[in-house]
Amino acid sequence: MLENIYVILYVDDLVIVKKRENVMSEFKMYLMKRFEMSDLREIKLFLGIEILRENVIVSLDHTILKNAILDKFEGTKDGFFKWRLSK
């Protein structure tokens, strides 16, 4: 039976998602033989989004990303932005 392997690529980060661990491991080994790369194991953070796993439940927490955006654009932690009106 064929199963999907999901690959997410962003610049130099690669995320591989697969239901069965053995199929994912085979795919990673295939890639590692052809490209210089390292396996960082289970994903914890990707593009500023924290990935939390508890058994079969996966949660995404964007607090780190949100705070980085608010800091960059002078927003407050409650999500409000200060806007300057030019004359």
Q: Considering the entire predicted model, what is its pTM?
A: 0.58
- Overall average pLDDT of the 76-83 stretch: 59
Q: What does the pLDDT look like over 36-66, one tens digit per residue? A: 988 888 888 888 889 888 888 888 888 888 8
Q: What b/e readout covers 31-48, taking b as 16+ CB neighbours within 10 angstroms? A: eeeeeeeeeeeebeeeee
User: Mean pLDDT score of the chain, rounded to an integer?
Assistant: 80
Q: Is the Cβ–Cβ distance between 25 and 16 less than 8 Å? A: no
Strand duo 13-17 + 6-10: pairing: antiparallel
> Sign (positive/negative) of CA torsion 52, 54, 55, 58?
negative
